[in-house]
Amino acid sequence: MLDLIVEGGRIIDGTGNPGFLASVGVKDEAIVLIRGDSSSVDSARRIDAKGLTTTPGFIDIHAHSGLMLLADKGHDAKVRQGVTTELVGVDGLSYAPIRERDDLLALVRMNAGLDGDPALNYDWASVGSYLDLFEQRSPVNVAVIVGNTALRINAIGWSNRQATPMALTEMRAMLRSAIDEGSFGLSTGLDYPPGSFADTDELVALATEVGKLGGIYHTHVRYRLGDRYLDPHREAIEIGRRSGTPVHITHLAPRNSYKSAQGLLRLVESAASDGLDITFDSIPLYPGSTRLLILFPDWVQDGGPQELKSRLRDPAVRERLRTEVVSGPDASWADMWLTNFASEQNRSLSGRNIAQIADAQSQHPVDTLCELLLDEDLRVSFSYMNADLRNLPRFLAHPLAMAASDAVLLGEHPPLRTSASFVAMLSDYSRDEPVMPLTEAIRKITSMPAQRLGIPDRGILRDGFKADLAVFDAELVGSNATRANPRQYPDGIAYVIVNGVVVVDAGERTTTTPGHALRFRTGA
């Protein structure tokens, strides 16, 4: 007898192939496809999916859930979209392996405006012990990629120093151990100190270890490098070529113009034509969001959070920062909105832009930012429009592209991507203004990220694969989130099933936490 059967829906299997009518059975967490009449098949539970579409569960290859998911077992923003697997540790910012608890707490503090700082024990050190925390304690499956920041903290510390041969040997050994324990490779976030202090040669050495074991190099590129346009991506390509390791460039996006969009895509296409194993993800919805500290130069963050806060209090440092921290070419102070305030006196500022807040306080915007970071113990997040929306569909539709969320889960005004990125792939990009067929949109959020990561048994509806499923009404599915009220759940997502267990049931969240900690298998 089956544990569950999802009957009579249109199956889009994740491969990009045309849909077909069938039922999906589940037995011991595995898929059993049933063509034809399934009425005589015994099952403990039946879900009527007639008129609905059944697909593999969605895989988010860029998730900032590595801490918040341990505190929030509901994880509604993602689960209600049909997400069943997430990759955490992206942007070079993994929370393992970190040997000293004080260093772990310092990284949590430094990164609180991006990943949050929930009340946890913070009593893990290795990738293996960190992954254990998610096993059947999460509504989604969790995969981990090791950030170079963690490796640098362990071997070098928080300061801007070049890696010695001994430190590099130590980091390579830690990385090998982390992959043995389940990491899917190496991530970098080359705008986030102290990981950003790594030079190209250091990253090539680390990526080489990853390539030997079959993992990937997943990179938020060094956006301040050179021409700040093609040069950051050229460095990523160089690292892949020199190391022989597959490269995945995360949140690749058109920044300003058609020319810039065309140039970025041509650069990636040329690398692929030359034989580099390269892919990228793009985010379906903007604005973007990250920790407010990204606006500040690396030198003020050198040494870790305590030294950073001391500098932010220093009048001489403030004077220098007023000339160095400027609104960028893509957004003015009036186009940058702040959120994630813990203190009562600042909560009314959530969703307001920097110019408004600075004007109200009769301050230079940089002084306002420094004061808020100190008041909030570095927790502040911000959103801004950092993509050319006219050309974004070209990126998402590209053959080398998959979709991801890069979702910040914090504050009262998270960006729309948090609750609607995957819904947008089902509606905006494949139904309302069709940039690609629904079959292709599904492939980009299921089998394609599974293949890129090396997850062998998810992302496709196939006999024996793990039963991660999304069941939705393709005509009705859509987002209800707005900038003023972003924490709204989508319409049309009827059922979400993780490892054969229903986590969204007729549109309502259950309390189940059937997610597994996914561990990379070398040679798989």
Under the banding of pLDDT at 50, 70 and 90, the label for residue 483 is confident
Cα–Cα distance for residue pair 417/77, rounded to 1 Å: 10
Give the other-Cβ count within 10 Å of 521's Cβ.
13
- Give me the sign of the Cα torsion angle 394, 400, 404, 406: negative
Mean pLDDT of 109-130: 97
3-state class (DSSP) for residue 373: helix
Cα–Cα distance for residue pair 445/385, rounded to 1 Å: 23
Q: What is the four-CA torsion angle of 417, 422, 428, 429, rounded to 10 degrees?
A: 120
For the chain, the straight-line distance linking the first and the last C-alpha, in angstroms and rounded, comes to 31
**Residues near 173 by beta carbon (within 8 Å), at least 6 away in sequence:** none
pLDDT at 506 (0 to 100): 97
Mean pLDDT of 22-41: 95
pLDDT at 330 (0 to 100): 61
Helices (H) and strands (E) in the chain, counts: 19, 22
* Geometric angle at alpha carbon 117, from 114 and 121, rounded to 5°: 140
pLDDT at 170 (0 to 100): 98
Judge whether 326 and 318 are in contact, CB under 8 Å: no
**How large a percentage of the chain has pLDDT more than 70?**
98
**φ and ψ at residue 286, rounded to 5 degrees:** -130, 155
Reply yes or no on whether the pLDDT at 385 is more than 90.
no
Judge whether 25 and 35 are in contact, CB under 8 Å: no
Picking from 488, 493, 436, the residue whose alpha carbon sits closest to that of residue 84 is 493
Amino acid, res. 508: E
Contacts 24+ apart (CB under 8 A), 438-442: 438/12, 438/19, 438/53, 438/474, 439/12, 439/16, 439/17, 439/18, 439/19, 440/16, 440/397, 441/403, 442/12, 442/14, 442/16, 442/55, 442/56
Cα–Cα distance for residue pair 426/434, rounded to 1 Å: 10
pLDDT at 389 (0 to 100): 87
Give the other-Cβ count within 10 Å of 456's Cβ.
12
Cα–Cα distance for residue pair 406/139, rounded to 1 Å: 19
pLDDT at 196 (0 to 100): 98
Under the banding of pLDDT at 50, 70 and 90, the label for residue 515 is very high
Reply yes or no on whether the pLDDT at 328 is more than 70.
no
pLDDT at 523 (0 to 100): 61
Reply yes or no on whether the pLDDT at 329 is more than 60.
no
Mean pLDDT of 379-408: 94
Q: What are the beta bridge partners of residue 502? A: 497
pLDDT at 387 (0 to 100): 86
pLDDT at 59 (0 to 100): 98
**Residues 235-279: pLDDT tens digits?**
999 999 999 999 999 999 998 666 678 899 999 999 999 999 999
Site of tokens 């929030």? 72
Q: Does the reported pTM lie above 0.95?
A: yes
Element (H, E) at 185: strand 185-189
Under the banding of pLDDT at 50, 70 and 90, the label for residue 434 is confident
pLDDT at 109 (0 to 100): 98
Reply yes or no on whether the pLDDT at 485 is more than 70.
yes
pLDDT at 113 (0 to 100): 97
Per the omega criterion (within 30 degrees of 0), is the bond before 399 cis? Answer: no
Q: How far, in Å, are 10, 189, 443 from residue 2 at the CA level?
A: 20, 45, 27
**Residues 278-290: pLDDT tens digits?**
999 999 999 999 9
Cα–Cα distance for residue pair 507/416, rounded to 1 Å: 20
**Residues 190-247: pLDDT tens digits?**
999 999 999 999 999 999 999 999 999 999 999 999 999 999 999 999 999 999 999 9
Q: Of 389 and 260, which is predicted with more confidence?
A: 389
Element (H, E) at 11: strand 4-11
Amino acid, res. 28: D
Site of tokens 């089956």? 2
Judge whether 344 and 323 are in contact, CB under 8 Å: no
Reply yes or no on whether the pLDDT at 331 is more than 70.
no
pLDDT at 258 (0 to 100): 60
Judge whether 202 and 161 are in contact, CB under 8 Å: no
Reply yes or no on whether the pLDDT at 189 is more than 80.
yes
The residue extents of the domains of the chain are 297-383
Reply yes or no on whether the pLDDT at 161 is more than 80.
yes
Pairing mode, if any, of strands 469-472 and 53-56?
antiparallel
Site of tokens 């924490």? 487
Reply yes or no on whether the pLDDT at 504 is more than 90.
yes
